């Protein structure tokens, strides 16, 4: 089955700096790679996703890159703000009507003033 | 947009009892739903795939007789934790895919289970 690794487990950046979180996956058949932000005790919130037919996607301060050959993808947050502090999870799966996901281990991002 | 609702949001039960958690797709039909479990400070781990009208598919290491899944309609899946033990205390969350929204995955609000 799919195996997703995520690094780093914790990340502390100063407000305004950039944050980068990296993930690798094992199943070359995976074609859908979402990123979630999760507050304590809440459901994961999709912040950005990318499908295997593109290499990069950007939405304001958030961008994701995908390298299918190397089987890794990364989340980039620019101009970080304190409200970006949360746990971020990457995931890999198949895009379709029954999409189960394999999640990475999570990254706790702390944005300090 | 599509919404997935879970109930209850939190539940406390005694060891040895059973507790049922519901997952509903409110404005779309879901032939398949997924159940995840998340222990504190850990990731979401897929427990099982809930299939409407047929048996659930369990991930390796998940006891199907302990975690009963029923998907009797296109909008409702239930997870019953039987003979609950304190180590079953966790955050349980379901997801469903809405084909009407470009196959977007929606998560329920999650259910906190505490077994005392």
pLDDT in tens, B18-35: 999 999 999 899 989 999
Rounded to a whole number, what is the distance in angstroms from the first to the last CA of chain B? 37
Q: Contact at 8 Å (CB) between B92 and B114?
A: no
Partner-chain residue, chosen from B43, B49, B97, that has the shortest CB–CB distance to A103: B43
- B109 vs A50, A73, B5, CA distance in Å? 24, 27, 6
- Beta bridge mates, B35: B48, B94
| pLDDT tens-place string over residues B40-89 | 999 999 999 999 989 999 999 999 999 999 998 999 999 999 999 999 99
Query: Which chain A residues touch B44 with a CB distance below 8 Å?
Result: 44, 89, 101, 103
Tell whether B32 is within 8 A of chain A (Cβ): yes
| Long-range contacts at A60-63 (CB < 8 A, ≥ 24 apart) | A62/A35
Report residue B99's pLDDT band, with 50, 70 and 90 as the boundaries: confident
A2-16, A95-109, B38-52: least confidently modelled range: A95-109
**Contact: B93, A34; criterion CB under 8 Å:** no
Structure tokens at B13: 């039960």
Rounded to the nearest angstrom, the minimum Cα separation between A104 and chain B is 7
Is B101 strand, coil or helix?
Answer: helix
Report residue A48's pLDDT band, with 50, 70 and 90 as the boundaries: very high
Tell whether B108 is within 8 A of chain A (Cβ): yes
Chain center to CA of B10: 13
Tell whether A5 is within 8 A of chain B (Cβ): no
**Helix segments in B1-116, DSSP class H:** none
Query: Which chain B residues touch A43 with a CB distance below 8 Å?
Result: 93, 107-110
- B35 vs A17, A50, B21, B77, CA distance in Å? 36, 23, 10, 9
Report residue A99's pLDDT band, with 50, 70 and 90 as the boundaries: confident
**Contact: B97, A43; criterion CB under 8 Å:** no
| pLDDT tens-place string over residues A54-65 | 899 999 999 999
Q: Which residues contact A61 (CB under 8 A, 6 or more apart)?
A: A77, A78, A79, A80
């Amino acid at each position: 089955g799919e195996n997703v690794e995520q690094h780093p487990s914790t990340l502390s950046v100063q407000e305004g700096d950039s944050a980068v979180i990296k993930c690798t996956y094992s199943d070359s058949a995976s074609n859908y790679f979402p990123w979630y932000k999760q507050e304590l005790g809440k459901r994961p919130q999709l912040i950005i996703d990318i499908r295997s037919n593109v290499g990069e996607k950007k939405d304001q301060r958030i961008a994701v890159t995908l390298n299918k050959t190397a089987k890794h993808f990364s989340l980039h947050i620019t101009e970080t703000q304190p409200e970006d502090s949360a746990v971020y999870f990457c995931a890999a799966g198949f895009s379709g009507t029954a999409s189960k996901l394999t999640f990475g281990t999570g990254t706790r991002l702390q944005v300090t003033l | 947009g599509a919404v997935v609702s879970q109930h209850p949001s939190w539940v406390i039960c005694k060891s040895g009892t059973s507790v049922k958690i519901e997952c509903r797709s409110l404005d779309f039909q879901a032939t398949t739903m997924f159940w995840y479990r998340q222990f504190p400070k850990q990731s979401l781990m897929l427990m099982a795939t809930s299939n409407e009208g047929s048996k659930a598919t369990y991930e390796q290491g998940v006891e199907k007789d302990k975690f009963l899944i029923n998907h009797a309609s296109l909008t409702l899946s239930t997870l019953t934790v039987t003979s609950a033990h304190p180590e079953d205390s966790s955050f349980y969350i379901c997801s469903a895919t809405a084909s009407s929204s470009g196959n977007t995955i929606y998560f329920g609000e999650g259910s906190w289970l505490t077994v005392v």
